[in-house]
Structure 1
Amino acid sequence: MSFKIVPVVMCGGAGTRLWPVSRDTMPKQFIPLLGQESTFQRTMRLLSDASIFGQAIVVTNVEYRFTVLDQLQAIGLAAQIVLEPVRRDSAAAVATATELALARDEHAIVGVFAADHVVQDGELFVETCRQAGVVAAQGRIVTIGIPPSSPATGYGYIRPGAEIGDVARQIAAFVEKPDAARAAQYLLDGYLWNSGNFIFDAMTMRAELEAFEPGIAAPVADAVTKAKRDLDFLLLDKASFEGVKKISIDYAVMERTQKAAVISGHFGWSDVGGWPAVWDLSEKNPDGNAIEGRGYVLDGANNLIRSEEALVAVIGLDDIVVISTRDAILVTRKAVADKVKDMVALITAKGESEAGAHREVQRPWGRYLSIDLGVRHQVKRITVKPGGVLSLQKHFHRAEHWVVVRGTAEVTRNDETIIVHENESIYLPIGCVHRLTNPGKIPLELIEVQVGSYLGEDDIIRIEDIYARA
């Protein structure tokens, strides 16, 4: 293969099927569901084979930009990180990647992959991508179809058509998610699951987008042309991108083009679409129980138990899921776990903040965890990564006390610069201009006690910020 595939990873979505671990503020692609690395990190490692792939493009949104950067740095990889100013579904993301790839090479071959899928045989996955790339170079848009392991009703299906060479086939039809009886028949008839991952000739994709959806192609091209650098990111032009039609690439192109092909992927694939899928992929004890954290099962089998902090004890139950986070607990039978999204909708309608937000909040400089919240006080545990710098800021309604429990803090307080060591504290009165920096080589951890009449995050007046949030 004389060319390299430009891998594009889409990770702007925020799924609810894995609530309460996955939420809007930290969705499933950034969470270590299986092992120590997130599915995003696992995907990026798969796409780092320099013999097949070129430099990756990651398409995400402004809210997740620092999470993407941090997770790439943690595994020693780099990518071109592209920020969508508003969410516009997968067709816009594919069009964006197409334009960026063509700016590199007018003969570019592009592979588009989801950040929240899991592949079990990485070598076979890479080889499948190579084979798909060869077919795509003939002016094709190649989807990777997965041979079904069961008559699943949660996936779209592909009906393969005539053969194209040795490994690919034409796509006779795309089929929406079927009922159980129809899914069973599809299994017998040799249909494939639609994985949503595909590889294509960039000029072909551009031409098809221009033909079928000019309302996507033109404004995306304009948004890319007018894009601006923002620290380590490429920010698409908001005015242009807001005009892009919101539609999936399946509806926009794949179900309409005559240039689609499918190649079978036998590498062990899962979209990790719910807690039963996590159980399927997890290591289990002899009773079939998959346990992470402080979980215990007595007289029960085939359960998934996951606990961040609390001790979870289960007695005499089979085939259930118990997920315990710092601020929410989910208990469900695996058979009805697909209703988790309905539960999230219910608690969202009731105004429960836990539906979409975690108590631990990620920031570009580190993170903070709200430990206690009262009428006039709040206690946080703040962690600042080495070299992390909080914004120069002030508050109109609260004072703060900082106690360093690990590492060393460099604190700016009005005109002073003060070094605060472990087991030392500093007081920041209302209205003072202050900044916190970690000048050390290890994470800085401190306890912050806020006292005041209003404790909201919007009482942060940023004066200066290295992360361009001021």
Structure 2
Amino acid sequence: MSTLIPCIVAGGAGTRLWPVSREAMPKPFMRLADGLSLLQKTFERVAGLDDVTRLLTVINRELLFRTLDDYRPLNSGRLGLDFLLEPMGRNTAPAIAAAALHAVRHYGEEAQLLVLPADHLIRDQQAFVSAVARARDLAEAGWLVTFGIRPGHAETGYGYIQQGEALEAGGYRVASFVEKPDLQTAQAYLEGGEHLWNAGMFCFRADVLLRELREHAPQVVEGVERCLALSGAVEGKQGKQCELDAPSFAEVTDISIDYALMERSSRVAVVPCDLGWSDIGSWQALRELTPADANGNQVNGEVILHNVQGCYIDSPKRLVGAVGVRDLVVVDTPDALLIADAHCTQDVKFVAQELKKRGHDAYRLHRAVTRPWGTYTVLEEGARFKIKRIMVRPGESLSLQMHHHRSEHWVVVSGMARVMNGERDFLLNTNESTFIPAGHSHRLVNPGVIDLVMIEVQSGEYLGEDDIVRFNDIYGRAPAGEKSN
């Protein structure tokens, strides 16, 4: 059997799960009740497969360090890590084509790719292992294999796959792909027994995929090949990393793998399976994972209810009181509150889309922002001032930088800080502080073994995150103009 390279594809903003899912911290990084993110659960699923030694991840380059943070506590060196870093999303066909070209280059033409979305939940690991084994047998025989979930109810939110003739290894030739149906059609599919939910998971040999893509969507392969020829690759302790060239990747056709190939090829098979699968596509889907009380309510956080039925309330940091309400979804975060009819959770995406159209930060960022070195949280801001809580992990460092329009006052709350302030290089202990005038080059480092926590008070005429000149950065970020710390 050919080498298996699992490929986790993390795309999309998860707008139907706003305000928890945002562009800079999308759905794959959402924590479930057990404390693990959907990305971590996908990693564990892959690690549970036999004979897997490497994992390829296709993800936006801005999310690399957050992804490494999620992988680190689970990996302990068992899986070698490969990353293809996208400068922007171009849908699944370019992402999968890039993964196949990468696999051919590094692991041979016969390598099999197991493509998995980063933000789905599968609760039956043994059924998953069995389905992958069947898919691998079909892939080895030259089929492009997709996974079909046996429907448990009439669902209008998923695409469907119609089964055709039976094949070996427990699969079927795909007769057709069907767009999201209306309720009456979905009910007919359920009763007919020939249609499966399209899970968006695939298995195929890299050479077979590329051959079929060259026949049915040559512009995708050719565009990705041009991009890879211009892209820089490095290999280090964090694995193989290839940052896709932005100008050429932007010219690649934006199209899904279903439209580009799966609906056109005659070599597509489906493996029917029952995996305990959910795409966690809405708050309604997420709440179904949590047991309800006698009144049909599900709550997270300190909540007081009176005459409340059928509500989902997620407020981990603020007390919520609810009186006399029915069928609501309430999700509270430090800077945004969602209130939705429980039957309209698919429409939450319209709130996120409107925020994006207005250029509002609540579409892109949480109040607490993750960076390669740790996090920062804006505690308060107003005219000419901004107050942040900054946490730097042990051994990590902010870039050597300078601001034109603001000065900063740093106060260490816990841990130890090494500070470079102009020509001075010194240590700060708990309750000690330093002042950094505008125009001074400066850097903050955590030389200790515990988290460094400090308060930063900014003051000046302009406090935007783009007032930064970066001289040196250990994470390879742009040397100037970066809109982050």
Q: Distance in 2 between matches of 1:295 and 1:24?
A: 29
Q: Is this contact kept in 2: 1:160–1:169, CA < 8 A?
A: yes
Deviation at 1:122, TM superposition (A): 1.4
Q: Distance in 2 between matches of 1:445 and 1:175?
A: 52
Q: Which residue of 1 aligns with 2:211?
A: 207
| Cα-to-partner distance string for 1:309-340 (whole Å, 9 max, x where unaligned) | 21112223332211000011001121011110
Identical columns (%): 40
| Cα-to-partner distance string for 1:399-458 (whole Å, 9 max, x where unaligned) | 111111111111111121111111111111121111000011111111100111111111
Q: Which residue of 2 aligns with 1:144?
A: 147
Q: Which residue of 1 aligns with 2:200?
A: 196
Aligned pair partner of 1:84 in 73, 83, 86: 86
Q: Distance in 2 between matches of 1:125 and 1:91?
A: 24
Distance 1:279 1:89, change over 3 A: same
Q: Distance in 2 between matches of 1:294 and 1:100?
A: 48
Q: Is this contact kept in 2: 1:12–1:64, CA < 8 A?
A: no
Count of matched residue positions in the alignment of Structure 1 and Structure 2: 469
Matched, 1:174 2:177: yes
Distance 1:250 1:428, change over 3 A: same
Q: Distance in 1 between matches of 2:54 and 2:229?
A: 20
Deviation at 1:300, TM superposition (A): 2.3
Q: Distance in 1 between matches of 2:228 and 2:97?
A: 10
Q: Write the mapping of 1:198-237 to structure 2, written as runs, cut at 5 A.
A: 198-229=202-233, 232=238, 233-237=241-245
- Give the letter aligned to residue 183 of structure 1: A
Taking only aligned residues, the RMSD between alpha carbons, in angstroms, comes to: 1.6
Q: Secondary structure at the match of 1:148?
A: coil
Q: Which residue of 2 aligns with 1:25?
A: 24
- Give the letter aligned to residue 110 of structure 1: L
Q: Distance in 2 between matches of 1:408 and 1:285?
A: 46
Deviation at 1:52, TM superposition (A): 4.4
Say which is worse superposed, 108-117 or 49-58, in terms of deviation: 49-58
- Give the letter aligned to residue 37 of structure 2: S
Q: Distance in 1 between matches of 2:387 and 2:11?
A: 31
Deviation at 1:302, TM superposition (A): 3.1
Q: Is this contact kept in 2: 1:9–1:112, CA < 8 A?
A: yes
Q: Is this contact kept in 1: 2:138–2:169, CA < 8 A?
A: no
Q: Write the mapping of 1:321-336 to structure 2, written as runs, cut at 5 A.
A: 321-336=329-344
Q: Is this contact kept in 1: 2:49–2:129, CA < 8 A?
A: no
Q: Distance in 2 between matches of 1:173 and 1:160?
A: 7
Q: Distance in 2 between matches of 1:261 and 1:52?
A: 24
Q: Is this contact kept in 1: 2:405–2:461, CA < 8 A?
A: yes
Distance 1:34 1:210, change over 3 A: farther
Deviation at 1:67, TM superposition (A): 1.1
Deviation at 1:237, TM superposition (A): 2.9
Q: Which residue of 1 aligns with 2:124?
A: 121
Aligned pair partner of 1:423 in 428, 431, 439: 431
Q: Which residue of 1 aligns with 2:483?
A: none
Distance 1:298 1:35, change over 3 A: farther
- Give the letter aligned to residue 54 of structure 2: Q
Q: Which residue of 2 aligns with 1:361?
A: 369
- Give the letter aligned to residue 273 of structure 1: G
Deviation at 1:164, TM superposition (A): 0.2
Q: Write the mapping of 1:375-454 to structure 2, written as runs, cut at 5 A.
A: 375-454=383-462
Q: Write the mapping of 1:224-303 to structure 2, written as runs, cut at 5 A.
A: 224-229=228-233, 232=238, 233-303=241-311
Structure 1 length-normalised TM: 0.96
Q: Is this contact kept in 2: 1:4–1:51, CA < 8 A?
A: no
Q: Distance in 2 between matches of 1:182 and 1:274?
A: 22
Structure 2 length-normalised TM: 0.93
Q: Distance in 2 between matches of 1:137 and 1:63?
A: 35
Q: Distance in 1 between matches of 2:360 and 2:95?
A: 31
Q: Which residue of 1 aligns with 2:74?
A: 75
In structure 2, list runs of 5 or more residues that go unmatched.
480-485
